[in-house]
Amino acid sequence: MLFDNPQHLIQQAGETGATRLDLSSLGLTELPPGVDELTQLEALDLSDNKLSQLPSSLARLSRLKRLDLMLNRFEEVPPVLFCCSELEELYLGDNKIQRLPGAIATSSSSPGSPSALTSSPTCPRPWASSPSSPISISTATDSPACPMRWQA
């Protein structure tokens, strides 16, 4: 069926200028080619797949505000996410992540702000200090500074 074909969905999103793309529950093991070219995307749903990493090219999605990565196989927060300056909502639940970068929970920024992210060697952030050591997920979710919309 066409709605189960990721390439068709990506092509359709490109042709229509869609700001949302749902690639959930397709059994994806890697990000399909062409997603990184959809620079108009504001919301991307990659939940319920078999993803364990994201390519650095995902940083091209400069308007991305919401990213759902729930029910995948991530063992760490994908580093490319630190390059997504507009990202406000990130869903990482039901993955294999044991630890979060410390700045996600220790930032003094307001909840939901992308400035809750720390620097990355490949994508330095002017608002971030030095990279912090990781903290456990339980610590992050119990912290009042942890953005509520960043679900882990």
pLDDT tens sequence across 130-147: 344 343 343 344 333 334
Q: CA 105 to CA 139: how far, in whole Å?
A: 8
pLDDT tens sequence across 48-64: 999 999 999 999 999 99
Distance of CA 70 to the CA centre of its chain: 10
Relative to beta strand 134-136, strand 66-68 is: unpaired
Structure tokens given for 79: 């580093």
pLDDT tens sequence across 73-122: 999 999 999 899 999 999 999 999 988 776 555 444 444 444 444 334 44
Strands (DSSP E) found in the chain? 20-22, 43-45, 66-68, 89-91, 99-101, 134-136, 150-151
Q: Could you tell me the pLDDT band of residue 4, with boundaries at 50, 70 and 90?
A: confident
Radius of gyration of the chain (CA): 15
CATH class label, 2-151: alpha beta
Confidence (pLDDT) at 125 = 39
Confidence (pLDDT) at 11 = 97
pTM for the complete prediction? 0.71
Structure tokens given for 114: 């992308």
Query: Which comes out higher in pLDDT, residue 129 or 122?
Result: 122
